[in-house]
Amino acid sequence: MFDRIEIKQKTGNEPLTFNGNETGITLIDFWRWGFSDVISNIERGKFAEFIVATVLNIDLSIINDGWNAYDLTSPEGIKVEVKSASYLQSWTQKDFSKISFSIRAARYWNSSTNEISEMSSRASDVYVFCLLKHKEQATLNPMNLEQWEFYVLPTIEINNYKRSNSSITLNSLEKLTHGVSYVNLRDRIIDACEIV
């Protein structure tokens, strides 16, 4: 068995090399090329995790582990699952996207044991549903945190949600909780954990 590889945080200035010579291409070139579209589903999801990490004061010098059973752990030990959705996409649309979020329980891989859990579960303490709510294509800017709204539910409420085991619509979510802005998100997450 091989030990886990220790990954150190990159600066973006690391060069690609060939035969010991720098090619003139750096890691930041890859990041710009591969991850600039923070509107698309995959990158927006990771960007939403980053937004929540910033509001929780998570140490950003520690690399995010994408293999955990939940997305983030706050300094207080709160385990957070982050989901995202947007009315606008980076592809051609006929209408706004219908807003729903995945709440599917899953089997998780444990990086310490290199094994997948036997049963599906929701391992977090709380879910944060991040909605990029802005509806004007010309001014859409995911980096403008005023264009986001956040909905927070304790995982126990997701476990008790009877309508679906796999997803929740915005309409159903708004019946269970109210949206908050970025500046109120941290308090809402902490409050949600104190409810249970």
**Residue 185: partners with Cβ closer than 8 Å, 6 or more residues away:** 52, 55, 128, 150, 152
Q: How far is CA 67 from CA 3, 5, 63, 115, in A?
A: 16, 14, 12, 12
Q: What confidence score (pLDDT) does residue 163 get? A: 85
Which parts of 62-157 are beta strand (E)? 72-73, 79-86, 100-102, 109-110, 115-116, 126-132, 148-154
Segments of the chain with pLDDT less than 70: 1, 111-112, 195-196
pTM: 0.91
Residues 193 and 18: their CA atoms lie apart, in Å, by 51
Q: What confidence score (pLDDT) does residue 111 get? A: 67
Domain ranges of the chain: 38-195
Residues 160 and 165: their CA atoms lie apart, in Å, by 9
Residues 154 and 127: their CA atoms lie apart, in Å, by 6
Q: What confidence score (pLDDT) does residue 127 get? A: 97
Q: What confidence score (pLDDT) does residue 157 get? A: 94
